[in-house]
Amino acid sequence: MNIKITAISAGILVALSTAASAQLAEAPAAPTMYASGPTSPNLTTVSLSEAERSAYALYEGVLQVVEAQIHASSCAPNTYNISIYADGALNSPSTNYVNVMAAGSSTVEFGLTASVQPESVSRGQQINVSSVSGGAFNGSLISSFGSTYVYNNIDNLLVGNNAQTILRGINGLPDTYTGDVIKDFYMGNVTDPTNPDYYNIIDWGLQAVSKLGYPVEKWWQRSKSHRDDGTNGRTTFVKDRLVGATSCRISIDTTGTNDGFSLFWEGAINPDNTGVLTISPIAPSAPVLPDSTGTEAWDQSPYSL
């Protein structure tokens, strides 16, 4: 009897081990560009301008406010207009700002400003993003938002680990959310100015959302920003919920002026250009929809760009 039990136990252990191995083998691979380790220094020394650093920090702030509101309510599909202006001037929130508006309206739902701190040549740069008082989003009053986003000195890493959003939840009481994000930037191409990728700045990263100090959600985030190359610039940010109640995607798609040097002005208030923020209850595997010209934001393979 003991021999039979031992044999059965061994068989169960082998089966469990085989199943576990199969599950591990199915884990998603690293994006192709990271498969052999860190990317080449040429690709990852991005040389962002202060205007671009300010703009990307502002985009990130908007997305973290929206993530908090989604957790506090739901991933109800909706569309908003968005406009961003950034010149990267030091300690000048009046010239580094983003506004989110109801679709087809110039009425601001909520706004954020960026205070750019002096750059340390050997360490990087900090940008403080905070909310403008009196804001709301999708019916939720926003008491405050504040975060410090930090770039390293070669612009290939951005970290934000102290974002705090306080907004009204579905119970009518203020909820406090915090966010931790890490993202890395690289150039699409660094050698050939005739290649459209020469003007692309791409990033890939992950984020955690916590409530009252405890993690509640995980998001996968990507972005691509195309500097002016004789046509309008275009910037697309996409976040997909990987851990949470339901599938959810937040995307920002803006066009306008982005010279890569002194000015980043994209979105709804830039004449003849567009800026749209969209919330969609779709899975991370869903393609990122092309713009009106049919141009895809990037390769659609999950976990790769």
Report pLDDT for 300.
40
When pLDDT is cut at 50, 70 and 90, the band that residue 232 belongs to is confident
When pLDDT is cut at 50, 70 and 90, the band that residue 191 belongs to is confident
The answer as to whether 286 is a domain residue is no
The answer as to whether 289 is a domain residue is no
Report pLDDT for 25.
55
Q: Is there a contact between 115 and 57 (Cβ–Cβ < 8 Å)?
A: no
Report pLDDT for 250.
96
Report pLDDT for 150.
98
Task: Give the Cα separation of 266 and 248 in Å (integer).
Answer: 25
* pLDDT over 70 (residue 9): no
% of the chain exceeding 70 in pLDDT: 81
The answer as to whether 293 is a domain residue is no
The answer as to whether 80 is a domain residue is yes
The answer as to whether 23 is a domain residue is no
When pLDDT is cut at 50, 70 and 90, the band that residue 40 belongs to is low
Task: Give the Cα separation of 274 and 265 in Å (integer).
Answer: 11
The answer as to whether 31 is a domain residue is no
* pLDDT over 70 (residue 238): yes
Angle at 254 (CA atoms; ends 251, 258), nearest 5 degrees: 135
SS (H, E, C) the chain: CHHHHHHHHHHHHHHHHHHHHHHHHCCCCCCHHHCCCCCCHHHHCCCCCHHHHHHHHHHHHHHHHHHHHHHHCCCCCEEEEEEEEECCCECCHHHEEEEEEECCCCCEEEEEEEEECCCECCCEEEEEEEECCCEEECCEEEEEEEEEEEEECCCCEEEEEEEEEEEECCCCCEEEEEEEEEEEEEECCCCCCCCHHHHEEEEEEEEEEEECCEEEEEEEEEEEEECCCCCCEEEEEEEEEEECCCCCEEEEEEEEEECCCCCEEEECCCCCCCEEEEEECCCCCCCCCCCCCCCCCCCCCCCCC
The answer as to whether 5 is a domain residue is no
% of the chain exceeding 90 in pLDDT: 53
Residue with tokens 């939840």: 169
The answer as to whether 25 is a domain residue is no
Mean pLDDT of all residues belonging to the chain: 84
* pLDDT over 90 (residue 110): yes
Task: Give the Cα separation of 140 and 144 in Å (integer).
Answer: 12
pLDDT per position as a tens digit, 256-289: 999 888 999 999 876 667 899 999 999 998 888 6
Report pLDDT for 303.
35
When pLDDT is cut at 50, 70 and 90, the band that residue 181 belongs to is very high
When pLDDT is cut at 50, 70 and 90, the band that residue 26 belongs to is low
* pLDDT over 60 (residue 24): no
- Residue 134 belongs to domain spanning: 47-280
Q: How many domains are there within the chain?
A: 1
- Give me the mean pLDDT over the 86-108 stretch: 93
Residue 254: beta bridge partners? 235, 275
